[in-house]
Structure 1
């Protein structure tokens, strides 16, 4: 199995008080938070990539460009879908979208980079010095 353009993966969640705009501090209404939607989109892309990467590699998110176009109330299920649309060396670009049981709620693109977690964390930790 190899990482290739056209692969698709989905991740889902049920909207609860813990993932509303109020809980995230991103709004004052009890609906699915934009940061939660973005996180679910990233999860779909991460899980897609992780299925095909060799042991000792993963990805980190580097760019998100999405629109949140419809609100979702507590109790509804949200499904995020990631489709790998570009591979440029270690850079992966995904088309992402999310829907609830009533229809589309958001869409856009998401970029991730393939990394070695140990090397990555060493570099991050060196910022403290």
Structure 2
């Protein structure tokens, strides 16, 4: 089996995604609390979406990244109806490991910040392995 060459991702790659908070995004709805504000799992999902978007345009065919580790400080509540923006910037590349710095904002206010580490994998092999339960 021929090994696929590993792509080169350069620190500085970045992307921004946004979300207008709905009732479905609240802590009450996602089961992470009992308050009607943006739930931490949705904040994390938005931050991860920004990391995926940051590498999307340079991702080689057949490859993808998967989440490995997350450090996230959820600092401020966001009510339904507000729009939050997640910015991810690739800070460090260590072989197949990609470390992103992430920040989620509501206007000028920081809602959350932290780091997301992802690892580059062969998509098909990863899915096959997951299907086998390995």
TM-score by length of 1: 0.94
Partner of 1:41: 47
Q: Deviations over 1:91-122 (max 9, x none)?
A: 00000010012511110000001111110011
Counterparts of 1:72 and 1:102 in 2: how far apart (Å)? 13
Aligned residues: 127
Question: How many Å apart are 1:47 and its aligned residue?
Answer: 1.1
Q: Does 1:90 align with 2:96?
A: yes
Structure having the higher helix fraction is: 1
Q: Does 1:106 align with 2:95?
A: no
**Is the CA contact 1:49–1:58 (under 8 Å) kept in the aligned structure 2?**
no
Q: Does 1:69 align with 2:75?
A: yes
Counterparts of 2:29 and 2:88 in 1: how far apart (Å)? 25
Structure 2 runs not aligned, ≥5 long: 1-7
Q: Does 1:116 align with 2:122?
A: yes
Counterparts of 1:54 and 1:20 in 2: how far apart (Å)? 35
SS at match of 1:3: coil
Counterparts of 2:37 and 2:19 in 1: how far apart (Å)? 13
Counterparts of 2:82 and 2:107 in 1: how far apart (Å)? 7
